[in-house]
A and B are shown apart, each in its own frame.
Chain A
Amino acid sequence: MRLQASLLLSLSLLLVPLVFLSHASSPPPRELWLSERGGTVVYGSGVGERVVRETFLALIHVNDTVYFDIRSSGCEVTSYRLKIVHVSSGVSYEYEGLGEPALPTFTASMGGVYSMELEVRFEARGDYNLQVEARVGRGGKVGYARLYLYEAIVGCVLLLVVGLYAAKRYKEVL
């Protein structure tokens, strides 16, 4: 049983490099597709002031930046209101602007899920088409690399200490 189980263990460990190789050779398309943008398109016809409200939910990490994008035709954006809430801690940020907006970019100071409510007011002139989009750009992760390095060093030292102690005991017993 031991032998067989260790064979199974080595087989499952063999999967690790295989997974790495597979990831490197062909990154899974759905993962690429899933990430990074979400949005909505509003179209219709008419004249007068209208409102679009869109709610985004985004999983982002420290230093990642969210860009908001409005593309319009046949209408004029008059104002926007953006409310961003870090869901699990409740920290919120609000932005408002008038006129043809250059929407703010939002850089996350902590990782987690953010809920983003974007309200856009626009003046329709006939057939209009308005696209509201949120994109995420990845920020630097140097801090994490340093953390992982420290953890690796601490782990190695611990392993060494435990190993040395075990070896010492082993020598004493035998």
Chain B
Amino acid sequence: MPRRGTRRFFELVKWYISFFNLWAASAALFFLYLLLYDRFRVNVISSYLWASSPSEGAWALLVGTAFSELEPMVAAMHLALIVALLFSLEEGEGMSYVRYAGGAGRLEAYAAKWLASLALFLSPLVGAKLAVILSWDTRASLLLLGWRFAALLVVSLAAYATYLFPILSALAVVVKRPLYYLILVFLELYVIEERWSLLSARYLYMHAALFFLPNTGGVGFFSVERSALLPRLAASLLCAIFTVLWYRLKGEVKWR
């Protein structure tokens, strides 16, 4: 690629557009999330006195109302598809050779994939939430104090994605074939979501994780009880350790 000039610019544009499918899928998910929210939803809460000012309370109410019952399930499927793209499909497409040729190790790629999954997961979800909030109350964007709640929401969702990512990616690393991985994940999501399941009641848990509670002032991931949170975080951590060990033991692929 030329170092500078117009040709380099167009080469970069070409490279950017080559990810068109990804942008298109992200846009589709943005609209999907937007569909989940009711444009004319009304919500009344009383005694919001935990908020230090009405503007904070207003943002808390807005963020709390921008939620749908179906959203956790859709978000989990969204993240599962992203992990499929980043782990199962890239092996088949020879992207791991590109990584190897570029001189990056497997663990670095794992970290990069985590960041990529965060970006791909958060951008449509948070974008849709903000879009619906600003369509409800455009002037609320001027209430700077309240943006704290939007930031907390983003952090909470990022924490949630970080919790789910190692579990899904460990499965993807073991199963390899995207189809089998997707079948297993969706089976897990639909069928085994009971209290006694291995990753115990992720769906129920997600309600708490994604749901912002305006009455208590608790924010999503941080408002979950500790007894529910710790085993899941431990499971997630174990999966991450497992993936790292798996990479270490298998070593680098021998390219011929």
Contact = CB atoms under 8 A, between A and B. Distances in A.
Contact of A1 (B31, B42, B57, B93): B93
Contacts of B69: 28-31
A110 B35 CA distance: 23
A65 to B, nearest CB: 10
B44 A36 contact: yes
A28 B70 contact: yes
Given A5-B25, A89-B139, A59 B62 contact: yes
Contacts of B40: 61, 138, 141, 144
B73 to A, nearest CB: 9
B44 A136 contact: yes
A31 B64 CA distance: 11
A11 B57 CA distance: 38
Given A19-B36, A22-B70, A34 B49 contact: no
B166 interface: no
A57 B62 CA distance: 10
A160 interface: no
B52 interface: no
Given A87-B58, A113-B140, A57 B70 contact: no
A2 B42 contact: no
Contacts of B49: 55
B155 interface: no
Given A5-B22, A15-B77, A88-B137, A38 B44 contact: yes
Nearest to B65: A59
A87 B21 contact: no
Given A5-B22, A8-B84, A88-B140, A56 B54 contact: no
Nearest to B22: A5
B89 A4 contact: yes
Contacts of B143: 87-88
Interface size bucket, B side?
A: 35 or more
Contact of A59 (B41, B89, B178): B41
Contacts of B29: 12
A35 B138 CA distance: 20
Interface in B87-143: 89, 92-93, 136-140, 142-143
Given A11-B81, A12-B25, A61 B42 contact: yes
Given A6-B21, A35-B41, A36-B44, A57 B32 contact: no
B137 A112 contact: yes
Contacts of B57: 57, 87, 113, 115
B227 interface: no
Nearest to A8: B81
Contact of B42 (A12, A13, A64): A64
B89 A55 contact: no
Given A8-B84, A31-B68, A141-B40, A113 B137 contact: yes
Given A15-B74, A57-B45, 17 more contacts: A4-B93, A9-B21, A9-B24, A20-B35, A39-B46, A55-B46, A55-B47, A56-B44, A58-B42, A58-B61, A59-B43, A59-B44, A88-B55, A88-B58, A111-B136, A113-B57, A138-B40
The 4 closest A-B pairs by CB, nearest first: A28-B69, A88-B139, A5-B21, A112-B137
